[in-house]
């Protein structure tokens, strides 16, 4: 689960990490008044996707330009999500910019502190182009977290002109990461101001979905943020399924994440474009499959529905029942590939139904692509 | 021969009295696996499918001489179950449970270090050695005994690949599902090493997906140490970055997570790259 920047910054302040003064606004008028209060400020779209800066969702404003800038940002849709909130933040006098984050290192199976003297960059691109410029310090959770010598080493490498505040900031960031079951705690950029203060200009906290059951405060934020997510994604998640919107026209329902990815790839290789990723998960019953049909077909861009199931824990007759109950209301063609446990019963249920049956994932993808072209 | 599980496997099922635990126990028994004990705290003395239930792993291992455990315990208790198994004397622990908090797994891996206990998973479909042992949830009817080793991060996609191999008359030595979480015990490299040493295995299939750099690390390993032919299949070429695609570990973030980079690394290491499960079987047929 991703938190909004303003929510992450609230948590930062609770844990003693400085942030610029800021006001959350839900209308352009509020944003204008906030800019007037600060004199000169940044208006930052609050959306739950990465890359909002690149998409033009962060703009500097003065009282003169505030009205125009605010209405522009509130009119934006960033990666499918409309901007309904902005954070207006006072301008900070920057001496140096850095990147600091704590995340999980899959290889060592431990958290790591990542830091770079290049702040504000797209860290993923940067990791590819200049990996040697990113410092990494492995964190031993059994050893009480980050050690002083590690922090001194990082501060030296960063060539921080004033590193009085750095050890405490890094330790606080790790405490947040550890206390709240984070998978990422990132400050990009962290800035050193002309007055010698370290300030988190941006803040990004991702929380482990699997740990929400023991993080009451994060659960509350999760519920608060549901309205800011793709409603189809939320509906699927509530049923234990996984839905991700994409840009094409072939809707997909598959059991298993790997097979779902394989299905998307085969559609792409056959010259088509998937409208979504949908993994109904093992053991899905007729109700789940029925809801999956509703969710995927409520995307108006979906022109064909491709259902690909390999029955194991998931039973083919259950799947067929879920599909056949929803076929009546559908006005788009459906391609089905159904194999595995109870497949004969499944096919029997679908006999005479208005569906095209495919024998393999490959064939299903080719038929679906032909249907849209 | 085969790897990790065979007819000498003596299995304990942790969480045997649960819905999935008891259902899968029946299927494992049908697939001729020696399930010798089950564990559910507070249920000692019961039987599930004729398998005696114990309160603790220690009692199960001491009484029944078990050497392997499989875990079907809910996520909040699964890390504890792994550690209990690791301390009981079994050498191999397979964790099927999906949804264990990452922080719990960091602690588990810290504790497992130096114990010599091997963990497969979590969030994995387990291990099948056709005709000898099914330690997991893979559908048994698709398997045929043979000489191709399969290692995969996926579940249903693995079944597709195995099914395609079997339909082409290509049997499997062992199939290992290493799991879809960001932190897993046994890696591609571990499985490749075991397959390389296993005299029954003549070739291998590696099934990967977006997220992390495990496929690139496997490619480096193959280049140096693997002499047997390998067919690689990586899915997610069309996945958008920054989105978790079903598996907690399947997300393109940080350097190296894309399918394209993984495919290039594998091809560069001399791996034959396939584009579908049928293609895996076709290419394997040409190789062996």
Q: What is the CATH number of the domain that holds A81?
A: 3.30.1490.20
Which residue is closest to A274 within chain B, CA to CA?
Answer: B238
Q: Do B275 and A269 touch (CB under 8 A)?
A: yes
Tell me the pLDDT tens digit for each residue of B116-136.
999 999 999 999 999 999 999
Query: Does A259 contact B at CB distance below 8 Å?
Result: yes
Mean pLDDT score, B171-200: 97
Q: How big is the A-B interface in CB pairs under 8 Å?
A: 169
Q: Is residue A201 part of a domain?
A: yes
Domain identity same for B235 and B176: yes
* ipTM rounded to 2 decimals: 0.93
**By C-alpha distance, which of B277, B251, B26, B4 is closest to B121?**
B4
Give the pair of three-digit tokens for residue A93. Answer: 């006098």
> E strand or H helix at B123, and its extent?
none
Contact, B68 vs B117, CB < 8 A? no
Q: What is the mean pLDDT of chain A?
A: 92
Range of the domain at A315: 232-372
DSSP 3-state of B16? coil
Q: When comparing pLDDT for A327 and B85, which is higher?
A: B85
pLDDT at B254: 63
Domain identity same for A110 and A164: yes
Mean pLDDT score, B212-222: 95
Domain identity same for A251 and A269: yes
**By C-alpha distance, which of B213, B212, B205, B214 is closest to B271?**
B205
Q: Do B255 and A131 touch (CB under 8 A)?
A: yes
Among A10-19, A307-316, B141-150, B170-179, where is mean pLDDT lowest?
A307-316
Domain identity same for B94 and B192: no
pLDDT at B255: 62
Domain identity same for B278 and B206: yes
Burial class (CB in 10 A: 0-12, 13-18, 19+), A67: middle
Domain identity same for A115 and A64: no
Give the pair of three-digit tokens for residue A49. Answer: 């996707």
* pLDDT above 90 for A283: no
Range of the domain at B209: 138-287
The string of DSSP letters for A224-248 reads HHGGGS-HHHHHHHHTT-EEEE-SS
pLDDT at A285: 87
From A312's Cα to the closest Cα of chain B, the distance in A is 6
Task: Name the domain count of chain B.
Answer: 2
Q: Is residue B106 part of a domain?
A: yes
Tell me the pLDDT tens digit for each residue of B227-271.
999 999 999 999 988 788 877 777 776 667 899 999 999 999 999
Q: Which of A137, A186, A233, A318 is catalytic?
A: A186
Partners of A9 in the β-ladder? none
Cα separation, A39 vs A35, in Å, equals 6
Tell me the pLDDT tens digit for each residue of A39-88.
999 999 999 988 888 889 999 999 999 999 999 999 999 988 999 999 99
Cα separation, A296 vs A300, in Å, equals 9
Active site residue B8: no
Domain identity same for A64 and A175: no
Domain identity same for B143 and B282: yes
Distances, alpha carbon B114 to alpha carbons A104, B26, B86, B87, B110, in Å: 21, 34, 11, 12, 9
* pLDDT above 90 for A131: no
Q: What is the mean pLDDT of chain B?
A: 95
Mean pLDDT score, A269-294: 91
Residue of A145, A262, A285, A341 to mutate, interface with B, max B Cβ within 10 Å: A262
What letters, b where the CB count within 10 A reaches 16 and e where it falls short, cover A137-158? bebeeeeebbeeebbeebbeeb
Domain identity same for A113 and A32: no
The C-alpha angle B11, B12, B18, rounded to 5 degrees, equals 130
* pLDDT above 90 for A130: no
């Amino acid at each position: 689960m991703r938190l909004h920047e303003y929510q992450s910054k609230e948590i930062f302040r609770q844990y003693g990490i400085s942030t610029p003064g800021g006001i959350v606004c839900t209308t352009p008028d509020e944003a204008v008044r906030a800019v007037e209060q600060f004199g000169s400020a940044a208006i930052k779209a609050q959306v739950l996707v990465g890359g909002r800066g690149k998409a033009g969702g962060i703009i500097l404003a003065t009282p003169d330009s505030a009205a125009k800038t605010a209405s522009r940002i509130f009119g934006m849709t960033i990666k499918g999500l409309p901007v309904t909130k902005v954070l207006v933040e006072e301008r900070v006098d920057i001496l140096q910019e850095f990147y600091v984050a704590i995340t999980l290192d899959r290889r060592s199976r431990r958290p790591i502190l990542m830091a770079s003297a290049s702040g504000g960059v797209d860290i993923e691109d940067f990791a590819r182009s200049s990996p040697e410029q990113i410092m990494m310090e492995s964190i031993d959770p059994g050893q009480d977290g980050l050690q002083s010598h590690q922090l001194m080493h990082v501060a030296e490498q960063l060539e921080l002109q004033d590193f009085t505040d750095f050890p405490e900031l890094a330790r606080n960031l790790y405490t947040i990461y550890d206390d709240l079951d984070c998978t990422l705690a990132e400050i990009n950029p962290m800035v050193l101001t002309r007055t010698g203060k370290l300030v988190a200009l941006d803040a990004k906290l991702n929380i482990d979905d699997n740990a929400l059951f023991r993080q009451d405060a994060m659960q509350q934020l999760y519920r608060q943020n549901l309205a800011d997510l793709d409603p189809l994604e939320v509906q699927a998640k509530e049923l234990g399924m996984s839905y991700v919107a994409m840009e094409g026209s072939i809707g997909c329902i598959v059991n298993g994440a790997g097979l779902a990815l394989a299905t998307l790839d085969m559609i792409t290789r056959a010259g088509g474009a998937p409208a979504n990723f949908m993994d109904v998960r093992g053991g899905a019953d007729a109700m789940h499959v029925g809801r999956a049909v509703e969710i995927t077909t409520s995307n108006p861009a979906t022109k064909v529905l491709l259902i690909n199931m390999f029955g194991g824990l998931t039973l083919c007759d259950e799947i067929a029942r879920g599909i056949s109950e929803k076929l009546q209301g559908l006005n788009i063609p459906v391609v089905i590939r159904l194999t595995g446990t109870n497949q004969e019963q499944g096919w029997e249920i679908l006999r005479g139904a208005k569906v095209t049956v495919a024998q393999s994932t490959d064939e299903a993808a080719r038929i679906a692509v032909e249907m849209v072209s | 021969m085969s790897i990790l599980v065979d007819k000498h496997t003596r299995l304990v099922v942790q969480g045997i009295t649960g819905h999935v635990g008891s259902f899968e126990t029946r299927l494992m028994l049908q697939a001729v696996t020696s399930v010798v004990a089950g564990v559910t705290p507070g249920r000692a003395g019961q039987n599930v499918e004729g398998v005696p239930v114990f309160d603790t792993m220690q009692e199960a291992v001491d009484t029944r001489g078990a050497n392997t455990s499989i875990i079907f315990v809910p996520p909040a208790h699964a890390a504890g179950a792994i550690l209990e198994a690791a301390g009981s004397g079994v050498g191999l622990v397979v964790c099927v449970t999906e949804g264990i908090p990452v922080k719990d797994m960091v602690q588990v891996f810290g504790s497992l270090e130096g114990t010599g206990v091997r963990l497969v998973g979590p969030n994995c479909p387990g291990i099948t050695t056709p005709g000898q042992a099914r330690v997991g949830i893979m559908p048994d009817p698709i398997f045929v005994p043979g000489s191709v080793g399969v290692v995969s991060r996926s579940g249903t996609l693995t079944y597709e690949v195995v099914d395609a191999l079997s339909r082409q008359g290509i049997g499997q030595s062992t199939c290992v599902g290493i799991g879809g979480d960001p932190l897993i015990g046994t890696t591609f490299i571990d499985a490749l090493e075991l397959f390389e040493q296993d005299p029954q295995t003549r070739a291998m299939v590696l099934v990967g997906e977006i997220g992390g750099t495990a496929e690139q690390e496997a490619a480096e390993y193959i280049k140096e140490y693997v002499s047997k032919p390998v067919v690689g299949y990586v899915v997610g070429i069309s996945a958008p970055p920054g989105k978790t695609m079903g598996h907690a570990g399947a997300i393109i973030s940080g350097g190296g997570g894309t399918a394209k980079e993984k495919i290039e690394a594998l091809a560069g290491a001399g791996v034959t790259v396939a584009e579908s499960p049928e293609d895996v079987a076709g290419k394997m047929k040409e190789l062996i």
